[in-house]
Chains A and B, each alone.
Chain A
Amino acid sequence: MAETVLYSVTCFDAKLPLVFRFEYYGNQLRGNKLTIRDNLTNDVVYEKEIVSMKNEHSLSPDGSGLLNGRTYNAQLYALPEGSPDYDGISNQIIFDCYSTPVLAFKGISSGDTIRNASFQANIEYSQAEGILLSSYRLLLFDAGQQLLWQSPTVFPAAPSPYSIREMIYDLDDNKEYYLQCVVETVKGIGAESERLKIRVSYTLPEQFSVINAENAPDSCAVKISANLVLVDGKCNNPEPVYIGGDIIDLTNGDFVIYDEGIDLQGDYEIKLTITQAAPYKTILEARNTRTLFTLKLMRGELFGTTGESYYFVLRAENGKSNFVTVSQRFNSHSPSDIYIVVIRLKGHQLSLFAYKIQERGA
Chain B
Amino acid sequence: MFFNLLAFSNLSLDINPANTNTVSTVKIENAAYDALMIRENISKPVSAEYPKQWTYDIVMFARFKENLIAGNTDALLSQTSGLRIKRRKVGEFKWITIYENSALTGDVSDFTFEIFDRYARSNVEYEYGIAIICNGIESATSIARAKSVFDGLCVMDREQIFHTILETEVTVQQNQGSVYVAPLSSKYPFVVHNGRTNYASGTATGLFALPDHSTGEYPVNFEDTHMHRRNLMDFLCNGSTKLLKYFDGRMWLVDIIENPSENAMDHKNMILTSFEWAEVGDCEDKHDLYGFGLIDAKPIS
Contact of A220 with B163 at beta-carbon distance under 8 Å, contacts A206-B79, A342-B46 already known: yes
Chain B, Cβ-Cβ closest to A209: B142
Interface residue total, chain A, C-beta cutoff 8 A: 124
Q: Quick check: B38 and A268 within 8 Å, CB to CB?
A: yes
Report A-chain residues with C-beta under 8 Å of the C-beta of B114.
223-226
Name the residue of chain A whose CB is nearest to the CB of B43. Answer: A267
- CB of A247 within 8 A of CB of B33, answer yes
Known: A326-B10, A362-B35. A208 touches B25 (CB 8 A): no
Which secondary structure dominates chain A's binding surface? strand
> A28 at interface (Cβ–Cβ under 8 A)?
no
B50 at the interface (CB under 8 A from A): yes
A207 B54 Cβ-Cβ under 8 A: yes
Minimal Cβ-Cβ distance residue in B for A211: B130
Question: A243 — which chain B residues lie within 8 A by C-beta?
Answer: 32
Q: How many residues of B contact A (CB 8 A)?
A: 112
**B1 to chain A: closest residue by CB:** A303
Q: Is B7 an interface residue (CB 8 A)?
A: yes
Q: CA–CA, A362 to B61, complex, Å?
A: 10
> In this assembly, does B185 line the interface, its C-beta being within 8 Å of a C-beta of chain A?
no
Q: State the CA gap A257–B161 with chains docked (Å).
A: 46
- Find chain A residues with CB under 8 A from B129 CB: 211
Which residues of B sit under 8 angstroms from A168, Cβ to Cβ? Answer: 301
CB neighbors of A among B101-115 (8 A) = 108, 111-115
Residues on the A chain within 8 Å of B130, using CB: 210-211, 226
Interface contact B18-A228, CB-CB below 8 Å: no
State A45–B66 Cα separation when bound (angstroms): 84
Within A270-318, the residues touching B (CB, 8 Å) are 270-278, 281-288, 292-293, 297, 300, 302-304, 311, 316-318
B142 near A215 with CB under 8 A, answer: no
Taking a contact as CB atoms under 8 Å apart, the answer to whether B33 and A273 are in contact is: yes
A194 to B36, CA, bound (A): 52
**Segment from B70-78, B189-197, B225-233, B257-265 that makes contact with A:** B70-78
Contacts of B3 in A (CB 8 A): 300, 302-303
Could you tell me if A316 and B18 are in contact, using CB atoms closer than 8 angstroms? yes
Which parts of B42-71 form the interface with A (CB within 8 Å)? 42, 46-50, 53-56, 58-60, 62-66, 68-71
Give Cα A258 to B1, complex, Å.
Answer: 38
- If A228-B72, A275-B31, A350-B17 touch, whether A217 touches B150 (CB-CB below 8 Å) is yes
Among B27, B122, B147, contact of A255 (Cβ-Cβ < 8 Å):
B27
Complex partner residue of A272 from B7, B36, B145, CB under 8 angstroms: B36
Given known A240-B68, A292-B20, contact A255–B29 (CB-CB < 8 A)? yes
Chain B residues lying within 8 Å of A272, measured Cβ to Cβ, are 28, 33, 35-37
Taking CB atoms, residues of chain A closer than 8 Å to B48 are 340, 342, 355, 357, 361
B150: chain A residues within 8 A (beta carbon): 215, 217-218, 220-221
**A:325-358 near B, CB below 8 Å:** 325-326, 329, 338, 340, 342, 344-346, 348-350, 353, 355, 357
Does B252 interact with chain A (Cβ within 8 Å)?
no
Q: Is B85 an interface residue (CB 8 A)?
A: yes
User: Which residue in chain A gives the minimum CB-CB distance to B55?
Assistant: A209
- Name the interface residues of B3-44: CB closer than 8 Å to any CB of A: 3-4, 6-8, 10, 12-42
Pair A250/B26 contact, Cβ less than 8 Å? no
Residue B128 lies at the interface, judged by CB distance under 8 Å to chain A = yes
Residues of chain A in range 206-241 having any CB-CB distance to chain B below 8 Å:
206-235, 240
When the two chains form their complex, are residues A259 and B301 in contact, meaning their CB atoms are under 8 A apart? no
A227 to B118, CA, bound (A): 20
Question: Does residue B146 face the partner (Cβ distance < 8 Å to A)?
Answer: yes
**The stretch of B132-140, B172-180, B234-242, B269-277 that contacts the partner chain:** B132-140
Given A151-B301, A229-B72, A264-B38 in contact, is the A222-B117 Cβ separation under 8 Å? yes
B131 interface residue per 8 A CB criterion: yes
From B126, which residue of chain A is reached at the shortest CB distance?
A222
How far is the CB of A99 from the nearest CB of chain B, in Å? 32
Task: Find out whether the CB atom of A149 lies under 8 angstroms from the CB atom of B30.
Answer: no
Given contacts A228-B111, A286-B26, contact A220 B156 (CB under 8 A): yes
In the complex, the chain A residue whose C-beta lies closest to that of B145 is A213
List 7 interface pairs A-B (beta carbons < 8 Å), by A numbering. Answer: A117-B140, A217-B151, A242-B66, A251-B32, A259-B24, A270-B38, A326-B8
User: Apart from A269-B39, A325-B10, what 16 extra A-B contacts exist at CB < 8 Å?
Assistant: A148-B94, A213-B126, A231-B62, A231-B70, A245-B65, A246-B34, A247-B34, A255-B29, A258-B36, A258-B62, A267-B42, A275-B32, A321-B13, A340-B48, A344-B42, A355-B48
